[in-house]
Chain A
């Protein structure tokens, strides 16, 4: 009985995790520019892989393999954030312009003016 419950919990976690990984993949295909692709990639990486890892930890029980999975989860969380920031910074410093709805008007403007300042610094 207990095994049935734990197995169904594992199936739930794995299915939701794989669904979110697929959301990341579809986002990378459909979004128009690199910054919005980074939105999809970083967030869905963290939650999707994290849910799959939690499901595998529940399936494993308490052992050294569960500790290894926990180490991989911590590594994935920090590495996904760092990769997202590194790629975004490289994109801004190599002058990639971000996508906007009415691009034809905006593209005539100077590049720094594209950064709409909602904050007055």
Chain B
């Protein structure tokens, strides 16, 4: 199963670079925030797949990453909301 996991991770990694286009170009701040949140989810999935390639070592990292990304995105959205247009 290891080659299949590697292939899926590579496909998702290409997707991350495609989503980076929206984070670079996005006309508004919130577009960039949305692109970064999508990149966060994809990174989480990649981390879990890599953990299954190398003997289950990255699941704790993935859990902590999910918590941190959730909190940071919500904080940025609330900050933009309170500041008005940046």
Which residues on A are within 8 Å of B, measured CB to CB? Answer: 7, 10-11, 14-15, 17-18, 21-22, 24-26, 28-29, 34, 37-38, 41, 45, 48-49, 52-53, 56, 59, 65, 68-69, 71-72, 75-76, 79-80, 82-83, 86-87, 89-91, 93-96
| Residues of chain B in range 11-47 having any CB-CB distance to chain A below 8 Å | 11-12, 15, 18-19, 21-22, 28, 30-31, 33-35, 37-38, 41-42, 44-45
Contact among A28, A49, A75, A94 for B45, CB-based, below 8 A? A49
Interface residues on B, range: 35 or more
Contact among B19, B22, B74 for A86, CB-based, below 8 A? B74
Residues of A within 8 A of B38 (CB): 24-25, 28, 41, 45
